[in-house]
Structure formats: structure tokens, C-alpha cells
């Protein structure tokens, strides 16, 4: 009867491991079709989760590279300068282009949680008047 040395057993285990790794790598499915996207630098992107209490809002302002808002909870309001007052609810992203003066905040009767994403400087302007804030939103 032939005995197997420790070296032969270890060699067989390592070889089996290599086969499993190679087979697993070739069997792994990509999460992308048509090429793999490359990750770009995002160090300058700011993300904030802000909770505005009912009745509160930002001042008029603009963003150097635009701003993306997403409502997570509650009801909010937003408006571009000289545009209609809009109501924001969860499920719809709101994008304001670079350099456009706007404001956003909570509805008069409900808190809002906003996720905001932007890059670059913010140019802060004057407060939003009560008359502008309390106008009837466009439906």
C-alpha cells in the first residue's frame, strides 16, 4: 500500500484551491453590459441630508454646478427666481441648473427631509419673503 506524503497532500489542496478560484472567476457574471464604467473623482461633490422644520426654507441661492434634491420624507417647496412655486414630495428628483437662483424648504404645515447633492460654490442671496413662500403652489 502506497502512503501519501504531507507535501503531496498540501500540493493537492493548493491545486484544488487554484482550480476553484479560476473556475469561480470565469463563472462570475459582470454587473455591466458592453464594458465596465470607470469611476471618476468625486471628492468635490457634497452630499447633505437636511431636515427642514415645517415653515422653514433656505435663502435664495445658486450653485456653480447645479444641485440635485431628492425628498426622502414629508413635503417641501421649491422655486426658481420668477418661476412658479412647486411642491416637492418623495419619489421625484429635483434638478436646478448651474447659476439658477432658487430656494427650497419645508411646506408650511409639514417637515421635509431632503438629500442634496452639489459640487462647487454656493452663492447665497437674500431671504425668501413670506409672501413668496406662502403663495399657492402650482399643482
The domain limits of the chain are 45-133
Nearest to 62 by CA among 29, 104, 28: 104
Beta strands 102-106 and 86-88, pairing class: unpaired
**Residue 74: in which H helix or E strand, if any?**
strand 67-74
How far is residue 68's CA from residue 70's CA, in Å, rounded to a whole number? 7
Distance in angstroms (rounded) separating the CA atoms of residues 118 and 78: 16
Quick check: 136 and 79 in contact, CB under 8 A? no
* Residue whose C-alpha cell reads 447645479 in the numeric block: 66
Whole-number pLDDT of residue 48? 96
Q: Which CATH architecture has domain 45-133?
A: Sandwich (2.60)
The predicted-structure confidence for 30-84, as pLDDT tens digits, reads as follows 788 988 899 999 999 999 999 999 999 999 999 999 999 999 999 999 999 999 9
pTM of the entire predicted model: 0.74
Instruction: Give the pLDDT of residue 30.
Output: 79
For 125, half-sphere exposure in the C-beta direction (CA atoms, 13 angstrom radius) is: 13
Amino acid at each position: 500500500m502506497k502512503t501519501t506524503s504531507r507535501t503531496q497532500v498540501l500540493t493537492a489542496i493548493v491545486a484544488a484551491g487554484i482550480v476553484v478560484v479560476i473556475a469561480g472567476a470565469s463563472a462570475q457574471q459582470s454587473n455591466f453590459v458592453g464594458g465596465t464604467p470607470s469611476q471618476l473623482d468625486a471628492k468635490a461633490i457634497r452630499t447633505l441630508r437636511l431636515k427642514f422644520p415645517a415653515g422653514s426654507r433656505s435663502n435664495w441661492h445658486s450653485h456653480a454646478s447645479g444641485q440635485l434634491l431628492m425628498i426622502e420624507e414629508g413635503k417641501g417647496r421649491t422655486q426658481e427666481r420668477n418661476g412658479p412655486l412647486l411642491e416637492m414630495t418623495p419619489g421625484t428628483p429635483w434638478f436646478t441648473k448651474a447659476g439658477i437662483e432658487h430656494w427650497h424648504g419645508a411646506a408650511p404645515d409639514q417637515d421635509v427631509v431632503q438629500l442634496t447633492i452639489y459640487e462647487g460654490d454656493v452663492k447665497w442671496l437674500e431671504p425668501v419673503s413670506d409672501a413668496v413662500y406662502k403663495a399657492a403652489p402650482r399643482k
